[in-house]
């Protein structure tokens, strides 16, 4: 867990490559479910098209469907889920059901980083529309300005990567997700990660925590 642009997506993908555990993130699952016109995806699409968040129980169903797949049997990496206490309690129920009542061993990793640094990351963030690779014009620029190193596509800026939208997203995170810090701290599951530094430096710190 961590605020927008704290590096969760980048680090969890690297961790998945390192460990062989599948990388599970709700955004990709929702998009795939909608694209495949799955029943849950059709329901999710009806909310998203209205600019609304998909209901917690719907997201939980999509997560459960993914965690029941064979590649998740030995472990998995959840990226940005759960995002609220309600989702955390739903995840508890999912894991109990999957493991037939046996408690699942896991760590909740909180990415800690100052808001001003996050803001710089967000407004300078660019991504490749083809491969999804993330760049930062200030901290991690491409070799050729505005062009993806891997496939030569023109980089784009997400519509929500503006200072005004970012501040709203921070407010949402602190209101909904920060209570999870207390929740998992009391359970003894939470570890804090200093998410400042280069991508490789943060990854080394992450590996030490694990």
Of the residues 18, 96, 138, 158, which is catalytic? 158
- Active-site residue 83, yes or no? yes
Report residue 133 as tokens.
């690779």
What is the rounded CA–CA span in Å between residue 159 and residue 206?
30
Of the residues 13, 45, 133, 169, which is catalytic? 169
Of the residues 8, 66, 121, 126, which is catalytic? 8
As a dihedral over the C-alpha atoms of residue 121, residue 181, residue 28, residue 49, rounded to 10 degrees, the angle is -90
User: Is-cis flag, bond preceding 122, omega within 30?
Assistant: no
Cross-strand pairs, 183: none
What is the rounded CA–CA span in Å between residue 129 and residue 178?
31
Contact 203, 11 (CB under 8 A): yes
- Active-site residue 8, yes or no? yes
Of the residues 66, 83, 121, 126, which is catalytic? 83
- Active-site residue 158, yes or no? yes
Q: How far is CA 69 from the centre of its chain?
A: 19
Contact 158, 136 (CB under 8 A): no
Catalytic residues: 8, 83, 125, 158, 169
């Amino acid at each position: 867990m961590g605020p927008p642009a704290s590096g969760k997506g980048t680090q969890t993908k690297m961790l998945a490559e390192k460990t062989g555990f599948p990388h599970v993130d709700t955004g990709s699952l929702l998009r795939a479910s909608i694209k495949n016109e799955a029943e849950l995806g059709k329901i999710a699409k009806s909310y998203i098209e209205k600019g609304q968040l998909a209901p917690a129980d719907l997201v939980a169903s999509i997560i459960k469907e993914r965690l029941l797949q064979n590649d998740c049997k030995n472990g998995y990496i959840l990226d940005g889920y759960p995002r609220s206490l309600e989702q955390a309690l739903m995840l508890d129920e999912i894991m109990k059901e999957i493991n037939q009542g046996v408690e699942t061993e896991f760590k909740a990793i909180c990415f800690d980083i100052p808001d001003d640094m996050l803001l710089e990351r967000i407004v300078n963030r660019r991504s490749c529309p083809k491969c999804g690779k993330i760049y930062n014009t200030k901290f991690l620029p491409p070799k050729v300005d505005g062009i993806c190193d891997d496939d030569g596509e023109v980089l784009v800026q997400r519509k929500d990567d503006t200072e005004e939208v970012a501040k709203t997203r921070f407010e949402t995170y602190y209101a909904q997700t920060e209570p999870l810090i207390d929740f998992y701290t009391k359970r003894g599951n939470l570890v804090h990660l200093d998410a400042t530094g280069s991508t490789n430096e943060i990854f080394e710190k992450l590996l030490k925590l694990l």
